[in-house]
Amino acid sequence: MDLNSLPVFRMMSGKMKWLAERQTVLAKNVSNSDTPRYQPKELKEVDFTRLEKANAFRVALARTDPRHMAGSGAAAKFDAAGQPNPYETLPAGNAVVLEEQLAKVAENRHDYALMTELYRKHVQMFRIALGQRGQ
Would you say the pTM of this structure is higher than 0.75? no
Range of the domain at 124: 1-34+89-135
Instruction: Assess if residue 18 is contained within a domain.
Output: yes
pLDDT of residue 82: 33
Instruction: Assess if residue 10 is contained within a domain.
Output: yes
CA triplet 54, 19, 8: central angle to 5 degrees? 35
Write a three-state SS string for the chain: CCHHHCHHHHHHHHHHHHHHHHHHHHHHHHHCCCCCCCCCCCCCCCCCHHHHHCCCCCCCCCCCCCCCCCCCCCCCCCCCCCCCCCCCCCCCCCCCCHHHHHHHHHHHHHHHHHHHHHHHHHHHHHHHHCCCCCC
CA dihedral 129, 132, 133, 135 (to 10 degrees): -140
Instruction: Assess if residue 108 is contained within a domain.
Output: yes
Q: How many domains, the chain?
A: 1
**Mean pLDDT, each 10-residue run in order, the chain (135 residues):** 80 88 92 88 73 52 68 40 51 83 94 94 90 68
Instruction: Assess if residue 128 is contained within a domain.
Output: yes
Instruction: Assess if residue 111 is contained within a domain.
Output: yes
Positive or negative, the CA dihedral 134, 9, 77, 55 is negative
pLDDT of residue 78: 33
Instruction: Assess if residue 12 is contained within a domain.
Output: yes
Instruction: Assess if residue 83 is contained within a domain.
Output: no
pLDDT of residue 76: 36
pLDDT of residue 134: 57
pLDDT of residue 108: 95
Instruction: Assess if residue 120 is contained within a domain.
Output: yes
